[in-house]
């Protein structure tokens, strides 16, 4: 388990006209600093929404030293994901439901300099992907259906988190357990108790008056949840 809960604000909930400033708001030192910045790339094919792509990610990478966590909700990640790793993204996550050869893709992402992440939709079982996950650095459990911000948390996915946590704790997997969707002051403690390491939070951070303070508060809550 990560030494402390990791908070990854999602810029899907930020002001797209002010992305540099919005990231800077969670980039100061201390407890108000985000551990990662979560960037959702949607192609209007794998999911019905369209957000941003590699040129914008390159601009964000040049504007901050906070590690960029790219979540690719796209078709054919085997072709497109490597570009994000080569650009300097810290972690590049692809969807199990879209990857043609997830093991080869993980190896290619790592060779390009990034951590490799595999994401599962709420309805996707963990067990068929356990062999592939041995090649990954991050498991991103979706706690909403991918494609839109502001959805309600699906608590049923926490059983998937608990299984992954047990496999990590027993040494069968070596990865960070990340969760994305509906994470806020009401849900973060139960996610932490289930064994999540990294919490993606959108409106809970960027809907707050002070995003940095929101990061610190969420991390404190997650630590309480982890402590039981």
209 assigned to a ligand binding site: no
83 assigned to a ligand binding site: no
169 is catalytic: no
95 assigned to a ligand binding site: no
20 assigned to a ligand binding site: no
Which residue in the list 40, 43, 137, 197 is annotated as catalytic?
Answer: 40
In Å, how far from its chain's centre is CA 135? 17
152 assigned to a ligand binding site: no
Which residue in the list 35, 43, 180, 197 is annotated as catalytic?
Answer: 180
181 assigned to a ligand binding site: yes
Q: What DSSP string runs through the chain?
A: --SS-EEEEBGGGS-GGGHHHHHHTT-SSGGGS-S-EEEEEEBSSSSS-B---HHHHHHHHHH--SPEEEEEE-S-HHHHHHHHHHHT-SEEEEETTT-SSHHHHHHHHHHTTSEEEEEE-TTS-SGGGHHHHTT-SEEEEESS-TT-SSPPP-GGGHHHHHHHHHHHHTTS---EEEEESS-STTTHHHHHHHT-SEEEESHHHHTSSSHHHHHHHHHHHHHHHHH-
40 is catalytic: yes
228 assigned to a ligand binding site: no
148 assigned to a ligand binding site: yes
71 assigned to a ligand binding site: yes
199 assigned to a ligand binding site: no
- Which residues are known binding-site members for substrate? 10, 71, 147-150, 180-182, 202-203
- Which residues are known binding-site members? 10, 38, 40, 71, 147-150, 180-182, 202-203
- Which residues are known binding-site members for a divalent metal cation? 38, 40, 71, 180
**Positions marked active-site:** 40, 180
């Amino acid at each position: 388990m990560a030494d402390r809960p990791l908070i990854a604000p999602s810029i899907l909930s930020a002001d797209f006209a002010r992305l540099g400033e919005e990231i800077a708001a969670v980039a100061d030192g201390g407890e108000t600093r985000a551990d990662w910045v979560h960037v959702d790339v949607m192609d209007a094919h794998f999911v019905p929404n369209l957000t941003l792509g590699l040129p914008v990610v390159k601009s964000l990478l040049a504007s901050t030293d906070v590690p960029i966590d790219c979540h690719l909700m796209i078709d054919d990640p085997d072709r497109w994901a490597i570009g994000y790793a080569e650009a300097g993204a810290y972690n590049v996550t692809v969807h199990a439901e879209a990857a043609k050869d997830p093991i080869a893709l993980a190896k290619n992402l790592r060779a390009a300099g990034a951590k490799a992440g595999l994401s599962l939709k709420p309805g996707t079982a963990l067990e068929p992907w356990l062999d592939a996950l041995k090649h990954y650095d991050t498991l991103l459990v979706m706690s909403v259906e991918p494609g839109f911000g502001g959805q309600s948390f699906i608590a049923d996915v926490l059983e998937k988190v608990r299984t992954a946590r047990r496999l990590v704790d027993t040494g069968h997997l070596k990865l960070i357990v990340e969760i994305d969707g509906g994470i806020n002051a009401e849900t973060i403690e139960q996610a932490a108790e289930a064994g999540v390491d990294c919490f993606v939070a959108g409106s809970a951070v960027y809907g707050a008056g002070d995003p940095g303070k929101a990061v610190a508060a969420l991390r404190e809550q997650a630590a309480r949840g982890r402590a039981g």
